[in-house]
A and B are shown apart, each in its own frame.
Chain A
Amino acid sequence: MGLKSNLHNFRQKNKDKKWLPAFSAIHTFLYLPNETTHNGTHIKAADDLKRTMNIVIMAMVPCLLFGMFNAGYQHHVAFGEIERAAGGFFSLDSTFWTMDNFMVGFWKVIPLVIVSYGVGLIIEILFAMKNKHEVEEGYLVTGMLVPLIVPIDIPLWMLAVAVAFGVVIGKEVFGGTGMNILNPALTIRAFLFFAYPTWMSGDKVWVHGAVERDQMIANGSNLDAISGETILGSYAQGNTNVVYDYWDMFWGIIPGSVGETSKFLIIIGALFLIFTKVGSWRIIFSTLIGAITMGLIFNGVVNAGWIPETSKFYGLMNVPFWQHLIIGSILFGAVYMATDPVTASQTNKGKWIYGFLIGFISIMIRVFNPAYPEGVFLAILLMNVFAPTIDHYVVQGNVKRRMKRLKVKTA
Chain B
Amino acid sequence: MGLFSKKDAKLITDPLADNNPITIQVLGICSALAITAELKASLVMAIAVIFVLGVGNVVISLMRNIIPSKIRIIVQLIVVATLVIIVDQVLKAFAYELSKTLSVFIGLIITNCIIMGRFEAFALGNGPWKAFLDGIGNALGYGVILIIVGFFRELLGSGTLFGIPVLGDAIEKTGVYKYGYENNGFMLMPPMALIIVGLLIWAQRSKNKDLIED
The verdict on B186 contacting chain A, using a C-beta distance below 8 Å, is: yes
Closest-CB distance, A55 to chain B (whole angstroms): 33
Q: Give the docked Cα–Cα distance between A269 and B184 (Å).
A: 35
Which residues of chain A are within 8 angstroms of B180 by Cβ–Cβ distance?
155
Does A194 lie within 8 Å of B185, measured CB to CB? yes
Q: Does B179 lie at the interface of the complex (its beta carbon under 8 Å from any beta carbon of A)?
A: yes
Q: Does A107 contact B (CB under 8 A)?
A: no
A155-B180, A157-B179, A169-B195 in contact; A196/B202 too (CB < 8 A)?
Answer: no
- Expressed in whole angstroms, the Cα–Cα distance for A198 and B185 within the complex equals 10
Shortest CB distance B108–A (Å): 25
Cα-based distance from A198 to B182 in the complex (angstroms):
10
Which of chain B's residues have a CB closer than 8 A to the CB of A169?
Answer: 195
> Are A195 and B195 also in contact (CB < 8 A) when A157-B179, A173-B202 are?
no
How many whole Å from A369's CB to the nearest CB in chain B? 16
- A161: shortest Cβ distance to chain B, in Å? 8
CA distance A194 to B186 in the complex (A): 5
Asked if B187 CB lies within 8 Å of chain A CBs, one says yes
Min CB–CB distance A194 → chain B (angstroms)? 4
The CA of A125 and the CA of B198, in the complex, are separated in Å by 22
Binary interface profile of A, 51-77, with partner B (CB < 8 Å = 1, else 0)?
000000000000000000000000000
Question: Is residue A397 within 8 Å, beta carbon to beta carbon, of the partner chain?
Answer: no
Bound state CA distance, A158 and B179, in angstroms? 11
Contact A195 B184 (CB under 8 A): yes
Interface membership of chain A positions 182-199, coded 1 if the CB is closer than 8 angstroms to chain B and 0 otherwise: 000000000100111111
> Is A195 in contact with B187, judged by CB distance below 8 angstroms?
yes
Q: Are B184 and A196 closer than 8 Å at their CB atoms?
A: yes
Complex contacts, B186 vs chain A, CB 8 Å: 191, 194-195
Residues 248-291 of chain A, each 1 if its beta carbon lies under 8 Å from chain B, else 0: 00000000000000000000000000000000000000000000
Q: Mark B183-214, 1 if CB is under 8 A from A, else 0.
A: 01111010000010010001000000000000
Known: A155-B180, A169-B195. A195 touches B202 (CB 8 A): no
Instruction: Count contacts between A and B, CB distance < 8 Å.
Output: 22
Q: Report Cα–Cα, A199/B183, bound state, in Å.
A: 12
Closest Cβ–Cβ distance, residue A76 to chain B (whole Å): 24
A123 to chain B, nearest CB (A): 14
Interface residues of B, CB < 8 Å — how many? 11
Query: Closest A-chain residue to B191, C-beta based?
Result: A194
CB nearest neighbor in B for A158? B182
Quote the shortest CB–CB distance from A40 to chain B (angstroms): 32
Q: Are A197 and B182 in contact (CB under 8 A)?
A: no
Which positions 174-225 of chain A face chain B at CB distance < 8 Å? 191, 194-199
A197 and B185 form a contact (CB under 8 A): yes
- Residues in chain B near residue A157, CB distance under 8 A: 179
- Inter-chain contact A196/B185, CB cutoff 8 Å: yes
Within the complex, what minimum Cβ distance (angstroms) separates B67 from chain A?
A: 44
What separation, in Å, do the CA atoms of A155 and B198 have in the docked complex?
A: 28
Which residue of B186, B195, B198, B202 has the most chain A CB atoms within 10 A of its CB atom?
B186
Residues of A within 8 A of B202 (CB): 173
Contacts of B182 in A (CB 8 A): 155, 158, 196, 198-199
Q: Which residues of B contact A199 (CB under 8 A)?
A: 182
Whole-angstrom distance between the Cβ of B44 and the nearest chain A Cβ: 27
Min C-beta distance of B181 to chain A, whole Å? 8
| Alpha-carbon distance between A194 and B187 when the two chains are bound, in angstroms | 9
A101 to B: closest C-beta gap in Å: 26
- Distance in angstroms between the alpha carbons of A195 and B182 in the assembled complex: 9
Among A157, A194, A197, A198, find the residue whose CB has the most chain B CB atoms closer than 10 A.
A194
The residues in A between 329 and 352 inclusive whose CB is less than 8 angstroms from any CB of B are none
Min CB distance A151 to B, Å, is 14
CA A198 – CA B187 in complex, angstroms? Answer: 15
Chain B neighbourhood of A195, CB < 8 A? 184-187
CB-defined contacts of A191 to chain B, threshold 8 Å: 186
Q: Across the interface, which residues of A come within 8 angstroms of B189, CB to CB?
A: 194
Whole-angstrom distance between the alpha carbons of A68 and B184 in the complex? 28
Residues in B whose Cβ lies below 8 Å from that of A155: 180, 182
B169 smallest CB distance to A (angstroms): 15
| Chain B positions within 8 Å of A161 at CB level | 184
- Which B residues lie at the A interface, using CB under 8 A? 179-180, 182, 184-187, 189, 195, 198, 202
22 residue pairs A–B, Cβ–Cβ below 8 Å: A155-B180, A155-B182, A157-B179, A158-B182, A161-B184, A169-B195, A173-B198, A173-B202, A191-B186, A194-B185, A194-B186, A194-B189, A195-B184, A195-B185, A195-B186, A195-B187, A196-B182, A196-B184, A196-B185, A197-B185, A198-B182, A199-B182
Known: A161-B184, A195-B185, A197-B185. 4 other contacts (CB 8 A): A173-B198, A195-B184, A195-B186, A199-B182
Top 7 A-B pairs, shortest CB-CB distance: A195-B186, A194-B186, A195-B184, A195-B185, A196-B182, A197-B185, A155-B180
